[in-house]
């Protein structure tokens, strides 16, 4: 009998890019944004980023959309620390966090 192992599903890069663009628009909006809509977009983007294949496509999305990059960094913090932040501000943030 053959044992099959499910392969983890990967997020569609186009969907990830669209969600990242939407989050960026919400972040930069000059008008009030509905909290439920914001949470929904963040939740869906977090799921997409969690399933995204590491590589050039993901790097391009994160480079283009700072809000998505910050969300990705927060999601990866446990494993990689401040992986997408410039070193000096990241080090300063780590030092400040340790002082608390």
Q: Where are the domains of the chain?
A: 13-99
Average pLDDT over residues 69-85: 71
Report the Cα 92 to chain-centroid distance in Å. 22
pTM (predicted TM-score): 0.69
How many other C-beta atoms are found inside a 10 Å radius of the C-beta of residue 25? Answer: 13
pLDDT at position 69: 92
* Mean local confidence (pLDDT), 75-80: 68
Longest dimension (CA), the chain: 60
**What pLDDT score was predicted for residue 78?**
65
To the nearest 10°, report the CA torsion of 58, 61, 65, 69.
Answer: 0
Structure token pair of residue 65: 């959309």
- Name the more confident of 99 and 22: 22
């Amino acid at each position: 009998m053959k044992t099959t192992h499910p392969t983890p599903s990967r997020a569609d890069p186009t969907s990830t890019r669209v969600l990242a663009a939407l989050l960026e628009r919400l972040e930069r909006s000059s008008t009030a944004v509905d909290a439920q809509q914001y949470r929904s977009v963040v939740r869906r983007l977090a799921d997409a980023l969690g399933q995204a294949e590491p590589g050039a496509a993901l790097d391009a999305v994160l480079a283009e959309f700072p809000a998505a990059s910050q969300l990705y960094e927060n999601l990866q913090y446990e494993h990689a620390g401040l992986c997408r932040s410039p070193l000096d501000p990241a080090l300063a943030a780590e030092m400040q966090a340790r002082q608390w």
